[in-house]
Amino acid sequence: MIAADVAYVRRCLAQGWIEGPCLELGAAIAEHSCHALLEGAGLETVRTDVAPGPGLGFCVDFEADAAVVEAASGGRLFQTVLVLNVLEHTFDPVRVLDNALARVAPGGALVVITPTVWSLHSYPIDCWRLNPDFYVAYCVRRSLELVEGSLEFVGFGPVGRARDGQFKLPAPGVSPTHRGWSRVVHKVFNTLGRGHFFPSHVACGAVMRKPA
């Protein structure tokens, strides 16, 4: 969890998109978890991870069969399930999301953050970079509502669209000077044609609501 991730979770709390009780995946390491923030907001929060750790409610690999996750969780449902910076570290992110969705109560929500453009960080493995279209498609396929205003390049603001209607990455900096310098660097090193005029670290956040 970096400062921008925490800010996104705070915004979700302020908007009422996160309600308790909550389940947070990949939360064995305290500094990678937002359970303190959630509990500070008065929300009951259960933490889980693939390996045992202090304070976990239960331990299970969400890539396992649905029956295994069901048994490990005791069949409990949660109003909000948070999957923050987890999916990139799984071989089958769709299965992980499906098992997480199965733990969401009717009318509840999945809150997800994943890197879109990021350096390799292979712990325990590093497999994926997910784009906004992934969340749009997942919502369509699973009959979920992509909560309006929640689709965000974390730390940069709402996901925007180019003139052709496609999603576009944010500019490489908040200032014209930063953007200009980026263009100079790409020109000097002959990378202009690749169109990499975006930051080296971009994550995508989304809130997906289950039908009541």
* Among 45-54, 72-81, 177-186, 199-208, the least confident range: 177-186
pLDDT in tens, 116-172: 887 777 777 888 889 999 999 999 999 999 999 999 999 888 888 777 777 777 766
Q: Report the alpha-carbon distance of residue 8 to residue 39 in Å, rounded.
A: 16
pLDDT in tens, 158-206: 888 777 777 777 766 556 665 666 667 666 766 554 445 566 688 899 9
Domain 3-158+200-209 sits in which CATH superfamily? Answer: Vaccinia Virus protein VP39 (3.40.50.150)
pTM of structure: 0.85
155-185 as b/e, with b when 16 or more CB fall inside 10 Å? bbeebeeeeeeebebbebeeeeeeeeebeee
Domain ranges of the chain: 3-158+200-209, 165-194
Q: According to the model, what pLDDT value does residue 173 have?
A: 57
Question: CA dihedral in degrees (81, 87, 89, 93; nearest 10)?
Answer: 120
Q: According to the model, what pLDDT value does residue 193 have?
A: 47
Q: Are 162 and 132 in contact (CB under 8 A)?
A: no
Q: Report the alpha-carbon distance of residue 42 to residue 19 in Å, rounded.
A: 10
